[in-house]
Structure 1
Amino acid sequence: MIGTQQEGVAVHLIKGQISREWVIDFTRLHEQWNYDSVLVGYYASAAEGFAIALYAANHTELIKFLIAHRPGSVAPALAARQVATFDQLTQGRMSLHIIAGTSDQDQASEGDFLPKNDRYRRAGEYLEVMRKLWTSDSPIDHRGEFYRVEGGFSDIKPYQQPYPSLFFGGSSEGALEMGAKHCDVFAIFGEPLKETRERVQDFRRRAAAFGRNIGFNMSLRPIMADSEGAAWDKANALLADVERKTGAAPQPTNHSAERLLGYAARGDVHDERLWMGIARATGAPGNTSCLVGTPEQIAAAVLEYYRLGIHSFLLRGFENPHDTMAIGRDLIPLIKQGALAIDRQAEAAE
């Protein structure tokens, strides 16, 4: 995940003022250490993500951008052209992460007062309009619950055909129905292996009901050191720092946060490596699921998720740029090597 300014030890990096040098340097750092993509997040008060991503793309060569986007913030016809234009200018270096909003309060600050369940229905219709515009060779008409379009057409089509991958996240029934019907990748936070297996199986069934196959992405925060003991010392020091800065944890604002806090209530540690201490201390306002250990131990834990069918991972640390380099240097090669070995074993067994 790239932010707009350097913040040192931080749980989230997207808010604040813009440092052009930081945007360039931090994105280049990810590219240097062989990350495939970087996430450009979305908050109502933050810098606009497409502009940040395009600026970063113009100063890099290969790295891709997963751009978070809120349906309803602009009309779907404009959003379709924004995505297609970015995709063409960067020759396919993007995916789109569909989010319905972190909270009603954050949505209201942008002038959007639609309840969350309705926002997911709107998001589905929004994506339906966008797909029509991306794929139609003639003007389209659309009349739905939230949008009406007459003679809509986009001269510009996406570079990626038929269009860039559509990610989504969420745990409510509205989110799951929207994602199963309209999106390509289900992005989840790190959870215990048993519940993750059940979640993957459940969502595959939901997507199959619409005749669709879907991929999975998992967000994790590695906390690494040369020894396991040193890694846990680092995790506990980080937790103390977060608790000192944040005080009492706020109440969860969405179903995904409630899930993470439920695991934290059962215990801070699950499956030996999964640590929910930061989730517990912060109210789990996003990617707060941590894996603690040596690079080899964390890679082994990630590969257990890979065996469950989760084939992409959003990995970011807390102390940047140091953690970005360490993850790219010490962890990503182990994960990629292990995933390749698992794939080869599966092919040999067929």
Structure 2
Amino acid sequence: MAIQILGMIGHREVSEIIPATTTFDKDYIAKFAQAHEAAGFDRILVGYWSDQPDGFLITAYAAAHTQKIKFLLAHRPGFVSPTVAARKLATLDHLTDGRLAVHIISGASDTDQQKDGDFLNKQQRYARTDEFLDIVQNTWYAQTPFNYQGEYYQVVDAYSEIKPLQAHLPIYFGGSSEEALKIAAKHADVYALWGEPLAGAKEHIEKLAPLLAEQQRQLQYNISFRPIIADSEKQAWEKAQDIYQKTKQQLEQTGTQGIHFKHPGVGGQRLLEAAQHGEVLDRNLWTGIVSLVKGNYNSTALVGTPEQVAESIADYYKLGIENVLIRGFDPLEDAKDYGKELIPLIREKTAAVDQAQQKIA
């Protein structure tokens, strides 16, 4: 299977090195999505935060201003009933002409969940997610009314006339805890990894293998990085140090404004542990930003020329990770830049991996 390359869009220009100057910019949404489409990305993620605009509407707006690029909408269970969420997602799949996937996030931070009125603990949230996905998928695919009796959700004669436009609407799922891995094995089509070193990524795959065997299922894997590229390796590392200084300066000036800090989950803790083993791991995996942002969100970068970064991504592809999400510290301009050399090189080098494996087989 050819590699799938994902990006990420937002509703305003902001990053670790770019302070927010507005709350919402609909023109930026359209421009951002169009830039990813022009650059050759396959799919773009629309994120979820407890204090930010609604992702359903952002996705619909971005889809209306693009033609082919697919979308990955992040959604947290617990705030919309699963039958309603299923109908919303099915409707959005029609509005996007079958370009939708959903990324289910149970929520790693008690504090962040409580901002929206959710006071379940982490273990309970994962149990609720399991039930949520049971009902969502029944709502999507059941041809007759169904009942469901769970600890968190109960429905009687539930049925939806609208189904996803796609025969199967993909479900992405992340999380490094044991609870998360079990739910991924049961429900996910794609398991999302943060940008760990090769050994850490391989460890996740090996942990999921027996759980998938129990469920008699298979899934794909996605991994996320923040590529920092330049014409030479030296220039790329100079650029990385400039990003470090700008990030540090912005944090000192504005605190957490524009950067959504929370207590990191197991995935974030794993990034922090990786950072303790060195600032540069494997070929060119840079952990410099991880400590600054306290392990929150995807903050590991691949640094080098487009050729070097593509080679590193091909290393993960050899492990069986067929999806990669790449986003920059200057989000819009980096998306454009990735399309010039990096994305074509990623496709070229992963295709070469496929060809080599076919010869062996």
TM-score range, shorter chain: over 0.9
Asked if 1:180 is matched to 2:185, the reply is yes
In structure 2, the CA distance between the partners of 1:16 and 1:171, relative to structure 1 (3 Å rule), is farther
Say if 2:17 and 2:243, in contact at 8 Å, map to a contact too. Answer: no
- How far does the alpha carbon of each residue in 1:303-324 deviate from its partner, in whole angstroms, 9 at most, with x for none? 0000000001100000132211
Which amino acid counterpart does residue 70 of structure 1 have in structure 2?
Answer: R
Hey, what does 2:95 align to over in structure 1? Answer: 89
Asked if 1:221 is matched to 2:226, the reply is yes
TM-score relative to the length of structure 1: 0.95
Hey, what does 1:281 align to over in structure 2? Answer: 292
Give distance in 2, aligned partners of 1:225 and 1:201: 34
TM-score relative to the length of structure 2: 0.93
> Which aligned pairs between 1:163-178 and structure 2 lie closer than 5 A?
163-178=168-183
| Alignment counterpart, residue 14 of structure 2, candidates 4, 7, 27 | 7
Which amino acid counterpart does residue 164 of structure 1 have in structure 2?
Answer: L
Hey, what does 2:251 align to over in structure 1? Answer: 246
Specify every segment of 5 or more residues in structure 1 that has no aligned partner in the other structure, as ranges: none
Hey, what does 2:4 align to over in structure 1? Answer: none
Say if 2:262 and 2:296, in contact at 8 Å, map to a contact too. Answer: no
Specify every segment of 5 or more residues in structure 2 that has no aligned partner in the other structure, as ranges: 1-7
Which amino acid counterpart does residue 177 of structure 2 have in structure 1?
Answer: S
Asked if 1:141 is matched to 2:152, the reply is no
Hey, what does 2:66 align to over in structure 1? Answer: 60
Hey, what does 1:343 align to over in structure 2? Answer: 354
Asked if 1:322 is matched to 2:322, the reply is no
Which amino acid counterpart does residue 208 of structure 1 have in structure 2?
Answer: A
SS of residue paired to 2:331: coil
Say if 1:37 and 1:64, in contact at 8 Å, map to a contact too. Answer: yes
| Alignment counterpart, residue 319 of structure 2, candidates 300, 308, 312 | 308
Give distance in 2, aligned partners of 1:224 and 1:200: 28
Which amino acid counterpart does residue 126 of structure 2 have in structure 1?
Answer: Y
Say if 2:69 and 2:99, in contact at 8 Å, map to a contact too. Answer: yes
Say if 2:112 and 2:262, in contact at 8 Å, map to a contact too. Answer: no
Which amino acid counterpart does residue 93 of structure 1 have in structure 2?
Answer: R
Asked if 1:212 is matched to 2:223, the reply is no
Which amino acid counterpart does residue 40 of structure 1 have in structure 2?
Answer: V
SS of residue paired to 2:227: strand
RMSD after superposition: 1.8
Q: Which runs of 4+ in 1 moved over 2 A?
A: 7-13, 247-253
Hey, what does 1:259 align to over in structure 2? Answer: 270
SS of residue paired to 1:18: coil
Asked if 1:37 is matched to 2:48, the reply is no
- How far does the alpha carbon of each residue in 1:222-274 deviate from its partner, in whole angstroms, 9 at most, with x for none? 00111101111110111111122224997842111110000111111101300
- How far does the alpha carbon of each residue in 1:20-49 deviate from its partner, in whole angstroms, 9 at most, with x for none? 110111100101111111100000111110
